[in-house]
Amino acid sequence: MNWGDALSHDFWVQVLLVFACSATIGLERQLSGKPAGVRTSVLVCVGTFVFVYLSQTLPDADPSRVLGQVVSGIGFLGAGLILSKDGLLKGVTSAAVIWVLAAIGAAVALNRAGIATVLAGVTVITLTGVPLVEKAVLKLKSLARDGDDE
- Would you place residue 82 in the very low, low, confident or very high pLDDT band (cuts 50, 70, 90)? confident
Of residues 29 and 62, more confidently modeled: 29
CA distance 139 to 143: 6
The percent of residues above 70 in pLDDT, for the chain, comes to: 95
Report pLDDT for 80: 84
The answer to whether residue 121 scores a pLDDT higher than 80 is: yes
Which pLDDT tens digit goes with each residue over 23-49? 999 999 999 998 889 999 999 999 999
- Would you place residue 147 in the very low, low, confident or very high pLDDT band (cuts 50, 70, 90)? low
Of 1-10, 21-30, 116-125, minimum mean pLDDT range: 1-10
Range of the domain at 133: 4-149
Cβ–Cβ under 8 Å, residues 98 and 44: yes
CA end-to-end distance (rounded Å), the chain: 79
The alpha-helical segments, DSSP class H, found in 32-91 are 38-55, 63-79
Average pLDDT, the chain: 89
> Per DSSP, what are the bridge partners of residue 89?
84
Stated pTM of the model: 0.86
What is the average pLDDT across 90-117?
Answer: 95
CB neighbourhood size of 58 (10 A): 10
How many domains in the chain? 1
The answer to whether residue 150 scores a pLDDT higher than 80 is: no
